[in-house]
Amino acid sequence: MNTTLLLVDGAGCQSCVNAIEGALRAAEGIEEASFDLASKTATVTSSRTASDLIAIIDEAGYDATLKA
């Protein structure tokens, strides 16, 4: 399992937090997922690649990039 940090744009409320966390947690291979609205950072522990995680967030309607 790897921990990946992603920057997420387009989220501005608690419903957005729930949507992002829900989309990630519903995906196969995700052990833990959280999203901090203040820092716009998703922290994901999973066996998935960063590209997979970005695609999951994108499909939920938000823009995600790998945090440097």
Would you place residue 12 in the very low, low, confident or very high pLDDT band (cuts 50, 70, 90)? Answer: very high
Helix (H) or strand (E) holding 4, with range, is strand 2-9
Say how many domains are in the chain: 1
- Predicted confidence at residue 27, as pLDDT, reads 97
Residue 6 structural domain: 2-66
Provide the mean pLDDT of the chain. 97
For residues 3-24, give the mean pLDDT. Answer: 97
Q: What is the pTM of this model?
A: 0.94
CATH code of the domain containing 9: 3.30.70.100
- Predicted confidence at residue 68, as pLDDT, reads 80
**For residue 59, what are the contacts with CB-CB under 8 A and spacing of at least 6?**
23
63-66 and 2-9 strand pairing: antiparallel
| pLDDT surpasses 90 at 49 | yes
